[in-house]
């Protein structure tokens, strides 16, 4: 049976492919590339999608998130950070949780511009999961400190 473009547009690649996302994502009004922090809606709760794995582990991921949480707060955007939760669970020697668990409570995903965010599987999965349930995604254009 043939599939329509909307259905095919939800076949996300397994690995980060931002070019594919820019060209094939339907509907485009949920995906905001090069967004300014001031344009992220301040109502509700945002999910701060930062890289979680890599050479620095949970501590580096939490440090990166800590650069962004205050900036989001100053812009009136309240956010949760899976990286911060991962570090807290690791330090408390608690079992790991799926980083996407918190997405259900959030109204949007914010992807800050930082080293590794374009190749991070965790960031990619967060973006795909949000779009698949029609939650908007804001891929920010500026670095931390440039708001």
Structural domains of the chain, with CATH: 44-147 (3.40.50)
Q: What is the pTM of this model?
A: 0.84
The packing angle between helices 82-91 and 57-74, to 10°, is 140
Q: Report the pLDDT value the prediction gives residue 5, as an integer from 0 to 100.
A: 43
pLDDT in tens, 42-78: 999 999 999 887 656 677 878 888 999 999 999 999 9
Q: How far apart are CA 96 and CA 64, in angstroms?
A: 19
Q: How far apart are CA 108 and CA 46, in angstroms?
A: 5
Q: Confirm if 126 and 49 have CB atoms less than 8 A apart.
A: yes
Which residue has better confidence, 147 or 113? 113
pLDDT in tens, 131-142: 989 999 999 986
- Is the pLDDT at 40 greater than 90, yes or no? yes
- Is the pLDDT at 110 greater than 60, yes or no? yes
- Is the pLDDT at 20 greater than 60, yes or no? yes
Average pLDDT of the chain, as a whole number: 83
Give the side-chain half-sphere CA count within 13 A for 65: 28
Q: How far is Cα of residue 61 from the mean position of the Cα atoms in its chain?
A: 13
């Amino acid at each position: 049976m043939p599939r329509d473009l909307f259905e095919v547009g939800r076949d996300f690649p397994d690995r980060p492919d931002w070019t594919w996302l820019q060209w094939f994502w339907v509907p485009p009004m949920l995906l905001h590339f090069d967004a300014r922090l001031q344009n992220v809606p301040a109502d509700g709760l945002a999910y701060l999608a930062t890289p979680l794995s890599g050479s620095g582990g949970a501590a580096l991921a939490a440090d990166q998130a800590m650069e962004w949480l205050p900036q989001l707060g100053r812009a009136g955007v309240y956010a949760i950070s899976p990286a911060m939760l991962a570090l807290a669970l690791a330090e408390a020697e608690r079992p790991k949780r799926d980083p996407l668990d918190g997405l259900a409570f959030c109204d949007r995903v914010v992807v800050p511009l930082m080293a590794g965010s374009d190749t991070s599987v965790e960031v990619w999965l967060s973006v795909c999961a949000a779009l698949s349930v029609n939650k908007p995604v804001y891929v920010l254009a500026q670095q931390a400190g440039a708001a």
